[in-house]
Structures are given as structure tokens and as C-alpha cells.
Amino acid sequence: MALTDRAIQHLKPKDKRYDVSDGTNYGGGNLMIRVQPSGSRYFVYRTKVAGKDRQITIGKYPSVSLSEARIKAAEYGEQRADGIDPALTPAFELEQMTIQSLTHEFMERWSKPRKKSWRQDERILNRDVLPKLGSILLTDFRRAHLRPVLEEKVSADTPMSANMILSIVRKMLNWAVDNDYLAANPLSGMTQPHKPQSKDRVLSANEIKVLWREYTDPDLRERIAVTTAMALRMILVTAQRPGEVVGMEWPELDGDWWNLPAERAKNGLAHRIPLNRLALDILERMAGIRCSTAVFPSTRYAPLLGRHMNPNTLGFAISRQMVFTPIPWFTPHDLRRTAASHMASMGTQPLVISRLLNHKEGGITQIYNRYSYDVEKREAMDKWADRITEMVGSDE
């Protein structure tokens, strides 16, 4: 049965989006009205080209009328009949396209088909961008429109969220240029609102609790990979360098000791690290998914034996988690500093902490002091595990 304006206006939103057909064949395709859970309605042309599904958003109702949508569907049908992929042509006239309608196009045609984390993009756009910028015409959009949104995030002490907003919107506008919706991207070359320059960041007890319970919860598979979550925890638990942790090999482990070889140590010094119970728990979890000699294999190239996680993955993961639970920005290396600072506050001697961190000693001390400090390092690491457990387990 053909659609009518009255029928479209009476369509009720449901928990999931749904489509209602216009009931007419347009060159081997169908005109649909798509109803979103929010109540928004969009005209969509659905067809197949070379055996592949094509869904092209024509426009939002009632900005695009039913008659205009039928005309556009007929045009798409003619293109299909001529062997032209209608998905390669603009969905509707540029003067009608707003940031809101572009966002819908981008999510449906690029983000959802290609990104596992598309829900995160959608959440950021719906929460931070569309309420303030959605009604702006795409052809009118300028950097000045986005700057207040980014500055608000920086002022709220969530600068990494500002960086992510810029990244997503810039990607969306690049896609608009590639699809002939826009002549040039106004955000091209725009610098990030926040450049990480952390040199003294130490996480508080409550922030460690958030890191452990939310940022690195291995059950939040959609938000963070298990290997990434466990690598971040291992940095905090052992106070070792992020690059050395992600490069950890199973042959380097000897019971409850981790023997870091000189060739992998940043300062070229072999290092013997005692593993406390929290570190052993992490290793037990990773052993259950072992697929190579790498303790923390790449989540992308895990099938290739010996491929380690890229250290940059850790920073990206922290940035993504800040979208869900914003706390002041920190880096993976700040977790190492955090561990050392908390151990110092617990009374651990500076020399023991220095040995745990594998810092180089200078002068005559380096030559004559060959004592390993294994006993003291073990005691400090065990106390640190108890302290983490106390912070993470507290609901105060």
C-alpha cells in the first residue's frame, strides 16, 4: 500500500528502527520511510547493485516531502537501470543538507558498515555535536561553529573528549568531501584542542578505582579489548614502562619473576621484576587466550605469531574510555608514575623504588653497589598489590 503523509505522521517509534515501504517499484528498488527510536523519520531508497545491498538516505521527513522523495527514488531507479550505482550520487540537494542529515548519512553509509566502534561515534555525535550544531547547513559550517563545543570540553577538564569530537567530525566532513556533498573540509589542518604534556600526573585512589572497575573491566568487550585492559593494569601493578609491558614474552617469565632482558629494556639494563598476586592474576587471564609468545598480542594481528600490541593502542583506549567516564586526562606512562608515587607514600625507600623502576645509577654507586634488592622489591610489590586492592574494593 502506498505511503501517505497522514500514514507517515502516525507511525510510532519503537525500541529499534523499522522501515515501511511505499509499495512501488522504482527501477528495481523500493522507497522506504525509516522510523528511528527517537521518532525521526527518513526516506531511504533500497536496492541491489551487482548483488550488493544499497541503502541511500534521501532525506529527513518533512524537510523532504513525500513527493520529492518519490521523484528522487525514480531518479535512482533510472540510474540503476543505466548501470550506475545510485549510492555514488548525492542523496539530496546540498542546500537541504544539515549537519544532522549528514550525520545520519555518515553513520549509515560509512561508520556502521566499517567500524566496530560505530556506537561510540554515534554517542559522541548525538550527545556533544547535534544538539548544538545539528541544524546548521553543511555548506555554512565553519570552524567557528565547532570551537565552542571543543572549548567547553577542555574547560570541563575532559580535553581528550574534545580531541575525539574533532577527530570524528573531521572524518565525517572528509567523507562528505569524498561523496561530493562538500567542496572542501573546513576542519582540515585544524589543530587538536589539547596537546598531551603530562609530566607529573598521578592518579588518586578514586581514579585508580575508576581505572580498574570501569576503564579496564575485561567484560566491557565492546569498549576495550581484554589484552589492552590487562596491559594497562599490568603497567599500574608492576610500575614498568608501557613499551616494555606490551612487549612482554612468555619465555621471560619464571614463576613469580619477570626477567626483562637488556635488549628490551629502554635503558639497556637487564631487569628482574617480582610479580605480585595481581600481576599473576593478569598473567593467568592472558594464558587462557594465549596464541603466541607475546603475553599481550596485537588485537588486530593476533593470529600472526609473535606480533605484539602497538603501545599506541593503550593511549587510544584511554581516550575512548574517557567518553564513558570522564576523569582528568592521563597517559599509560602516568600509571608507572602513579605506582611509584603511591609506593613512596606508603613508606617504600627511594632506592628500592628506583630499583623497581630500573633507573640507572650514576658514578661510583653504579660500579660498587651490586646488591639486587630482590627481597626489598618483593616486599614493596606485595604491599602495592594490597594497596591497590584496598583502593579498588572501597566504595567510599
200 within some domain: no
Task: Provide the pLDDT for residue 91.
Answer: 46
34 within some domain: yes
Task: Provide the pLDDT for residue 157.
Answer: 67
The total domain count for the chain is 3
Q: Which three cell numbers stand for residue 50?
A: 551487482
| Final residue before a domain boundary, out of 41, 67, 92 | 92
| Final residue before a domain boundary, out of 146, 167, 195 | 195
* Structural contact between residues 161 and 324, judged by C-beta atoms closer than 8 angstroms: no
| Final residue before a domain boundary, out of 74, 92, 110 | 92
Q: What is the CATH number of the domain that holds 210?
A: 1.10.443.10
pLDDT in tens, 253-283: 999 999 999 999 988 889 999 999 999 999 9
If you count DSSP H runs as helices and E runs as strands, how many of each does the chain have, helices first?
17, 7
Sequence-ordered list of residues with C-beta below 8 angstroms from that of 76, at least 6 positions apart, any chain: 26, 27, 29, 45, 47, 56, 86, 89
Sheet holding 52-61, edge to edge: 18-26, 29-35, 41-49, 52-61
Task: Provide the pLDDT for residue 233.
Answer: 96
Q: What is the CATH number of the domain that holds 117?
A: 1.10.150.130
108 DSSP 8-state letter: I
Sequence-ordered list of residues with C-beta below 8 angstroms from that of 151, at least 6 positions apart, any chain: 162, 193
Q: Sorting pLDDT into bands at 50, 70 and 90, what band is 291?
A: confident
Phi/psi at 49 (nearest 5 deg)? -130, 120
269 within some domain: yes
| Same-domain status, 356 and 255 | yes
User: Count of CB atoms within 10 A of residue 248's CB?
Assistant: 23
**pLDDT score of 348 more than 90:** yes
| Same-domain status, 247 and 348 | yes
Q: For residue 196, how far is the Cα from the chain centroid?
A: 17
Q: Sorting pLDDT into bands at 50, 70 and 90, what band is 112?
A: confident
Residue 297 to residue 225: CA distance in whole angstroms: 11
Q: Which three cell numbers stand for residue 126?
A: 548525538
- 178: alpha, beta or left, given left = phi > 0 and alpha = psi -120 to 50? alpha
| Same-domain status, 362 and 288 | yes
* Structural contact between residues 230 and 296, judged by C-beta atoms closer than 8 angstroms: yes
Per-residue pLDDT averaged across 122-143, rounded?
Answer: 90
Percent of the chain with pLDDT over 90: 40
253 within some domain: yes
| Same-domain status, 183 and 227 | no
| Same-domain status, 29 and 110 | no
| Same-domain status, 80 and 111 | no
| Same-domain status, 66 and 186 | no
pLDDT in tens, 301-322: 544 555 788 887 888 888 777 7
Residue 70 to residue 216: CA distance in whole angstroms: 49
DSSP for 56-103?
A: EEEEEETTS-HHHHHHHHHHHHHHHHTT--GGGS-SS-GGG-BHHHHH
Residue 83 to residue 132: CA distance in whole angstroms: 40
| Same-domain status, 122 and 230 | no
Q: Which three cell numbers stand for residue 359?
A: 633507573
| Same-domain status, 188 and 71 | no
pLDDT in tens, 362-387: 544 454 455 678 999 999 999 999 99
| Same-domain status, 66 and 211 | no
Query: What does the mean pLDDT of the chain come to?
Result: 84
Q: Which three cell numbers stand for residue 186?
A: 573546513
Residue 336 to residue 97: CA distance in whole angstroms: 48
Q: What is the CATH number of the domain that holds 29?
A: 3.30.160.390
User: Does residue 223 sit in helix, strand or coil?
Assistant: coil
Residue 106 to residue 111: CA distance in whole angstroms: 6
| Same-domain status, 380 and 242 | yes
| Same-domain status, 313 and 361 | yes
State the residue range of the domain holding 103.
93-195
pLDDT in tens, 331-346: 899 999 999 999 999 9
